[in-house]
Structure formats: C-alpha cells, structure tokens
Structure 1
Amino acid sequence: MSFTRLRYHIVFATKYRARWISPAVEEVLYPVLGKVINDIGGQSIRINGVEDHVHLVCALPPSLCIDDSIRAMKSQSTCAIRRHFEHLSFFKWQRGFGCFTLNPVDMRGILAYVENQKQHHRRRDELQAMWERVEAR
C-alpha cells in the first residue's frame, strides 16, 4: 500500500490579467473549483483570490497529472462563469499556471497567505501608488 501527502499551492490568472473576478463571480467560481478538485479525486483545502487571479491550496492524488488537473479546473470554471454571467461570455484564463508543492510544516502560513489575498493586494496597490507619486516628483 502506498502513502502520499501531496499538497499544492496553485495560482492562475485571467486572460490579460483582466479584473473580471468580482465578489459575485467568486460566489460561483470558488465552489466550482472546489467541486472539480473533489471530482478528480482531490481535496480542496483553501480557495481565494482577487479580481485577476486565484490561489488554490489542495491535495491531489499522485496518479493525476497536474497539467490535466488544472486544465479541468480552468475549463469547467470558464463554462460556469460564462453560463452564469452574460456580460462575461468572453471570460478566459491566461495560459499557464504556477504550482508549488507544500511542506506540511508551512501549511499554516500558506493558508493564511491565501486567506488574506485581498488585504495583501490592497497593501501592495497602496505601496505601488505611493511609489508612483514619489517617482512623479
């Protein structure tokens, strides 16, 4: 009998980093992503993001190809978004993704990072705006 404990931090973005993921879209998107993960034999641990990208922490079985798994997540979530939101009939994900294996010791920090995406990006946007004002002087 084999034993694995494969946890992944997956990140992928909207096409052209367009800000299409509103709170209403999140209400449809996150459950669909969780369902896809469960349907392929994985376990969704945490899903969050901001207007232009999502972060997923999940467990996937070793028999699954990461590329195929993420393709299923993107494909099924695209169909759901287009079906639920007429104004997003052109919704697409960017090609590619980031996928990182996680050390169980680091899980608490990674989960906090994913949970706090909106605050993290708000601070980053504020710092960027401040830097731009300084450069303009």
Structure 2
Amino acid sequence: MSYRQIFYQIIFATKNRCKTITEAHCEELYKYIWGIVKNKKCSLYRINGIEDHIHIFSDLHPSTSLADYIRDIKSSSSIWMKSNGLFPEFRGWQESYGAFTYSIKERDIIINYVRNQKEHHKNEPFYDEYKRLLIEHGVEFDEKYLL
C-alpha cells in the first residue's frame, strides 16, 4: 500500500480571460469537474471561481501526472461547456495554468481561500492574484505570458 498527501491549488482561466462562466450555471460546472476529479481517483476539497477563471483545490493520486490531470479536466469540461448550451459565450480554456502545492497545515486556509473567491476578487483582480501567487511560490515567469 502506498501512502501520499499531495495537495494542489490549480488555477486556470477562460480563453482570453473572457467572462463566460455564468453565475447561474457555475455550480453545474463545478459538479461536472468534481466527477472528473473522482474518476481520476483524486479528492476534491474545494472548487470555486468567478466569470473568467476557476480554482480547484484537490489532492493528486500517484497514478496521475499533474499535466494529464489538468489536461483531462480542461478538455472534458470544455467539451461539456460547449455542448450543453449553458455557457453560450464560452470558447475554451487558456493553454496555461498555475499549480501550487500546499501542506496539510495549510489545507483549511486554502479551502477557505477558494471558497471565498467571489468576495476576494472584489478587492484583487485575477492578474494581480495570479502574479502574487507565482511570486509567493517562487515560480519564475515572463510577465508577457500573464496577459
């Protein structure tokens, strides 16, 4: 038996950061993504976002690579969003994403952070949030790719 504890906060935006995730149907999107997460043998601790991006806080099963996990979430949810008529303006997800690891001691803090995304973004735009997280986690980046 293998044991692991790999917590990730994953963030990705809609294509061109267009505001296409409607408040009226975001819960249905989150439930759909939860199904993908469960099928990958991962646990979802919290998912939330606003009109132009989402945050997923989950663990990662050792049989799944991070890149495959995110690719499957983005591709499956994109197909679902384009085909069901609930998100008529949605054109896809941006290619890039952010993925940040956390310890068990930080789990509840990150769950609350993701839970409060709508309130959080009244004070901090997505661009500033994303840049701040990259800096806090020591991730080197080229600012031209953040636009």
Q: TM-score range by the shorter chain?
A: 0.7 to 0.9
1:123 aligned onto 2:123: yes
| 2: CA distance, partners of 1:10 / 1:77 | 15
> 1:72-118 deviations in whole A, cap 9, x for unaligned?
10111111111222762652000111111111101111111101100
SS in 2 for 1:122: coil
- Correspondence for 2:137: none
Report what 1:134 is aligned to.
none
Say if 1:86 and 1:38 are closer, same or farther in 2 by CA, change over 3 A: closer
Contact 2:48 2:55 in 1 (8 A): yes
Match of 1:76 in 2: 76
Q: How many residues align?
A: 126
TM, length-normalised to structure 1: 0.85
Q: What is the TM-score of this pair, normalised by structure 2? A: 0.79
Over the aligned positions, Cα root-mean-square deviation in angstroms equals 1.8
- Equivalent residue, structure 2, for 1:24: 24
SS of the equivalent of 1:88 reads coil
Match of 1:9 in 2: 9
Matched residue, 2:94: 94
Give the share of equivalent positions with the same residue, in percent: 36
Structure 2 runs not aligned, ≥5 long: 129-147
The reply to whether residue 39 of structure 1 matches residue 39 of structure 2 is yes
User: Is the partner of 1:49 in helix, strand or coil?
Assistant: strand
Unaligned runs of 5+ in 1: 129-137
Computing the radius of gyration over CA atoms, which structure comes out larger, 1 or 2? Answer: 1
Q: Which moved more, 1:79-88 or 1:116-125?
A: 79-88
Aligned to 1:135: none
**Separation in 2, partners of 1:89, 1:118:** 20
